[in-house]
Amino acid sequence: MGTVGCGRLPGKLAGGAATMGGMATVVAFHAHPDDEVLATGGTLARLAAEGHRVVIVVASDGWMGARTEPGASTRLDELRASAAVLGAARVEHLGYADSGTGPVLFPDPPDRQRFVRADIDEAAERLAALIRAEHADVLLSYDAQGGYGHRDHVRVHAVGARAAELTGVRVFEATAPREYVRVVFSALRALRLVVRHQPAEIRTWGTPRAAITLRVNVRRYARQKQAALAAHRSVVQGTGRLARLMRLLLALPVPVFGLVLGREWFIEAGAATSGTAGCDARAWSTKRHGRPPRGSAGGRAASPPVGERA
């Protein structure tokens, strides 16, 4: 029961025509391990807690070099730990390497292609095969800027959109209100936690608030979201500014973390918008299910282990 004009999820999620006990399957498509947390982690935890099947797919394993290098699987391992905290039932990697940031796009490692060089149709077909196998109802992807313009994130948008065309699945694109992004990044620049991106660039990030079709309140899932972030140890323990920002977020008391990161936003192409100030995403969760969430592949209960640090 979203507000009029807000994005709605298909009947199974919205509590309409109930098949499979009213549960739906959501495939969350991300660029790298750790991306699943900040933009969608609360939503995924909430969906899983409410009985829906959550599948996380990453395009890239977050590794620049060959798969045979020591540590090459670290970030996928961290993603699996994060996914367990969020209650996801399955994690898959599409098989691509990280394309990295900065002006230089390095050659491909010997055993796989960087995601930004992936043929869009080929990558979309890999994703579509998973969507079909899962009989997914919803695909979560990224907005056209890929949130903040990372080349792999922009590619996620293109590949997600193509996979949606191939399968007919509904696609909701993670984003954030442009007005909010501007305020947050101005503060981060003032604190010198962001230096690489210039104000003119930051002004293009996110989506104007009036164009956002779905806002999800995830404050009740702040603990899981923070614990999932902590699971990405190699990122958190890094030396860069991003790592410092991550450590700051992890040091926040859970209620404060929930105030800062307790909302997540999506746009659905073609969905009606009518000003979205009151648009909360009860549509994600109107149906309470009498049966427990589907277990993971290993038979473990899919409900998020609240408070657990992976």
Residues that bind Zn ion (CB under 5 A): 31-32, 35
State in angstroms the smallest separation of the CB of 52 from Zn ion. Answer: 24
Residue given tokens 């009518």 in the structure block: 274
CB of 190 to Zn ion, least distance (A): 24
Nearer to Zn ion by C-beta: 35 or 268? 35
Distances (CA, A) of 233 to 34, 37, 79, 82: 10, 13, 10, 10
Q: Which residue is nearest to Zn ion (CB)?
A: 32
Q: Could you give the angle at the alpha carbon of 38 between the alpha carbons of 57 and 99, nearest 5°?
A: 55
Minimum distance between the CB of residue 60 and Zn ion, rounded to whole angstroms?
8
* DSSP tag of 73: T
Residue nearer to Zn ion on the CB measure, 31 or 139: 31
40 versus 226: smaller Cβ distance to Zn ion: 40
Q: Shortest gap between Cβ of 135 and Zn ion (angstroms)?
A: 27
List CB contacts of 255: < 8 A, sequence separation 6 or more: 222
What is the Cα–Cα distance from 181 to 166, expressed in whole angstroms?
32
In terms of CB distance, is 147 or 177 closer to Zn ion? 147
Tokens of 154: 């922009």
**In angstroms, what is the minimal distance from the CB of 245 to Zn ion?**
14
Q: Which residues contact 57 (CB under 8 A, 6 or more apart)?
A: 27, 28, 29, 30, 91, 92, 93, 94, 127, 130
| Shortest CB 134 distance to Zn ion, Å | 23
Nearer to Zn ion, 219 or 241 (CB): 241
* DSSP class per residue in 176-244: -BHHHHHHHHHHHHHTTS--SS-HHHHTTSSB-GGG--EEEE-GGGHHHHHHHHHT-HHHHTSSSHHHH
What b/e string do you get for 271-284 counting C-beta neighbours within 10 Å, with b at 16 or more? bebeebeebbbbbb
Opening angle at CA 84, ends 80 and 89, nearest 5: 90
Q: Toward Zn ion, which CB reaches closer, 8 or 32?
A: 32
Pick the closer one to Zn ion by CB: 23 or 39.
39
Minimum CB separation of residue 209 from Zn ion in Å reads: 24
